[in-house]
Structures are given as C-alpha cells and as structure tokens.
Amino acid sequence: MNSKLKMAIVGAGIWGENHAKIYKAHPFCEVVAVCDQKKGKARELADKMGIPQAYENYEEMFKKCGCDAVAIVTPDFAHADIAIKAAENRKHVLVEKPLATTREDVFAMREAFEKNKVRVMVDLHNRWSPAFNVAHQSVEKGELGAVYSGYMRLNDIKWVATDMLPWAAQSSILWFLGSHSLDTLRWFFNDEVKRVYAVSREGLLKGLGVDTVDTYLTTLEFRNGGIAQMENGWITPNANPCVNDIKFNILGDKGMISLDLSNHNLIQKYTDEKVIVPDMVVQHSIFGVPKGFAFESIRSFVDCILSGEEFHVSVEDAANTSLAILAIMESARTRMPVDVQY
Ligand SMILES: NC(=O)c1ccc[n+]([C@@H]2O[C@H](COP(=O)([O-])OP(=O)(O)OC[C@H]3O[C@@H](n4cnc5c(N)ncnc54)[C@H](O)[C@@H]3O)[C@@H](O)[C@H]2O)c1
C-alpha cells in the first residue's frame, strides 16, 4: 500500500471517538469517514475531529467513502451485520470486542471473512497490556514451567453499567469484560476451554434500573488439563479508586506470577469526594497523543495491515472466546457444568 491507510469508523460513541484519535495520531493512517445511526452524531464527531465524510447508513458509507478498512465500534450486540457487510464490500475489519454475542453470528461472520478474503482483528487488547505481556513472555520462556492453574478478576464499578453504557442491559459483564478475561486465560494456557461451570448473582443493578446480571464466578477446564477461575462483575462500589478492579495469578509447576493492576498507587489524587488512582496503563494522553495499551492494540491493527504481518489476536481467538462465554451463560442459567461447543 503506497498511500496512507484509509479508515472508516462505524459508531461515533465514546470508544469510536478514541478510535478516531488513534488513527489521526498514526503517521500512516487517516480517517476518511464516520457513521452513526443516530441522527447528527457522526456529523458532530466528524466536525470535532476533522473527518471529511459523515454518514447515517453504514452500507452507503462502505460503497461511497473509499476506505481500505473499517473499525466497528457499535454496542456489543451490534457487530455482526456491520462486519459482514464490510467484508462483502472487501474492507479489512477491526471489530471491537466481543466478536459477536450469538453462536449464529460467530459462524456467519467467520464465513463472510473467509469468503471475501479480508483481514480481521478483534480488539481483545489485554495482550498489549505491559504487565500481562511481560508475564506472558515469562511463560513462553518456560520460567514458570508448565502452566497449571490461573485466576483472573476483572470487575468494573457500578457506574459503568448505570451511567456509562446506555445499552448495559442489552449486554452482559461477560461480553464487556469477560471477553478480555477469557482471551487472556486462553492465551496464557495456549489452549481452548473444554468445560465451564459458572454461578451468578443478580439484583443490585436491577434495583438501580439496569436489567443485567451483577456478577459471574466461573471455573474453566482447559483441554490439556489446566484449570482456572475468573470473576467478572460490574458492582464494585463507585468509590473504588480505579474503574477496573484487576487481579491475576498464573501458577506453573516451576513458578508463579501475580499481578495487581488496580492498586498500582503510582499517583494518588485526593478531592473532597474521593481518592483516585489515575489510570496510567490502559488509556491516557501525553501532550495530546493517546497512550496506553487500549490504544496500542488499535495502532497494532493499522501497523499489521500496512506491514502484512499477522495480527496478535486471530478471528479464531475471538470466535472461541465468544463460544466459551455462551457456554458460561448457559452454565450460570442451569447451574450445571457445560461443554463448550466449537
Ligand atoms: N477496547 C476497549 O477498551 C473498549 C472500551 C469501551 C468500549 N469498547 C467497545 O466498543 C463498543 C462501543 O462502545 P461505546 O462505549 O463506544 O458505546 P456508545 O454507546 O458510546 O457508542 C456506540 C455508538 O454506536 C452507534 N450505533 C449503534 N448501532 C449502529 C448501527 N447499526 N450503525 C451505526 N451506528 C450504530 C450508537 O448510536 C452509538 O453512538 C462496544 O463493543 C464496547 O464493548 C471497547
């Protein structure tokens, strides 16, 4: 590709704006168009970010805007139709996590990607987290021996479900954060989940007017014998100094690594309302340039399209993550162990 990579964005919400900032900051990328089904929203973002074209219909945008690749940054349940249409228009695709929230969508998307021979990455960004990546390098070097068991806790404060996401009740903490947990554990075990056993509780968020499950505790069994537990909830008190509550432990037969990413305490900010530990890892800005691993993954999509290198997250990674989450939901509903159907 001789000129800059031309990106288009579907979804001009919170995270769509971040995508726009990252593409604009990349020396070999430009944003040519943005689309949002809500009247005026794409135009607003286009004006704010200096994006030349704004649309309300993504099919029209794919046909007219001249983009090479599309970022799909719509709510969790609204990725599949857009991704399939992008592939049919021969656009490379970056899908925000999760890939899809139904089995039918997972298979339809895979088929469309293969048939149209487009390149696709899903933004399961934990692999770019410095702490997780360095820990993973230790595992790859064999410093921990054979991976034996793991634990991952990835929770959000209530505000994410009650205030940040207008569509929390149409999604689940398993899609919103559990997809990161599951992809991370699959990556560390270098294996697929065979069976899951999950329990859940609900009521706190329903009481606050958001009809979604509060929290899931899940036991995972991997095909090669590895076992892990993951915890995903969005009921951490709002006064928690970080939006996320992140703990991770991986145990091998020769060593162990533990991460505590929420309580890094590198900065503590005190106001009359609250103590805050500002995020310096996931997303921040230095002299106006977006930094942090949530942005690194998106930059990596651009770099890999331009260089022709393999993505660090494959469609299979994201598809198997979604299929395992569907099994977790079934297990939590039935209170029975469920084999993941691939
Ligand atoms: N990687 C990360 O760190 C990260 C962080 C936050 C959100 N996300 C993901 O990004 C996605 C979007 O989240 P958000 O917080 O920006 O949501 P949002 O509600 O702020 O924005 C979504 C936008 O998509 C638009 N939209 C919905 N359906 C559409 C359609 N068919 N055509 C065009 N526009 C449509 C909505 O009008 C809305 O403006 C979700 O999948 C979420 O999980 C990822």
CA atoms of 298 and 140, how far apart (whole Å): 24
The answer to whether 229 and 197 are in contact (CB under 8 A) is: no
- The residue whose CA is least distant from atom 39 of ligand 1 is 13
Instruction: From 10, 15, 132, give the residue whose CB has the most ligand 1 atoms within 8 Å, as the site to mutate.
Output: 15
Measured from the Cα of 41, ligand 1's closest atom is 39
CA atoms of 129 and 102, how far apart (whole Å): 27
| 285: CB partners within 8 A, 6+ apart | 291
pLDDT in tens, 195-209: 999 999 999 999 999
Query: What is the average per-residue pLDDT within 124-140?
Result: 98
Instruction: From 21, 34, 36, give the residue whose CB has the most ligand 1 atoms within 8 Å, as the site to mutate.
Output: 36
Q: How many residues does the chain have?
A: 342
pLDDT in tens, 34-76: 999 999 999 999 999 999 999 999 999 999 999 999 999 999 9
What is this structure's pTM? 0.96
The answer to whether 313 and 127 are in contact (CB under 8 A) is: yes
Distance 15 CA to ligand 1 centre (A): 6
The answer to whether 225 and 150 are in contact (CB under 8 A) is: no
CA atoms of 72 and 82, how far apart (whole Å): 7
Distance 251 CA to ligand 1 centre (A): 35
Residue labelled with tokens 């609204």: 78
- The residue whose CA is least distant from atom 25 of ligand 1 is 11
The answer to whether 153 and 296 are in contact (CB under 8 A) is: no
Q: Is the pLDDT of residue 1 over 80?
A: no
Distance 97 CA to ligand 1 centre (A): 10
Which one-letter DSSP state was computed for residue 311?
A: P
Query: How many Cβ atoms sit within 10 Å of the Cβ of residue 80?
Result: 21
Q: Which residues line ligand 1 (CB under 6 A)?
A: 10-16, 35-38, 41, 58, 73-76, 78, 82, 96-97, 123, 125, 165-166, 176, 294
Helices 293-307 and 14-25 meet at what angle, rounded to 10? 50
Query: What is the average per-residue pLDDT within 308-315?
Result: 98
The answer to whether 103 and 323 are in contact (CB under 8 A) is: yes
Give the ranges where the chain is alpha helix by DSSP (H). 14-25, 41-49, 58-64, 80-88, 103-116, 130-141, 158-159, 173, 179-189, 204-207, 293-307, 315-334
- The residue whose CA is least distant from atom 6 of ligand 1 is 15
For the record, the structure tokens of 22 come out as 């990252």
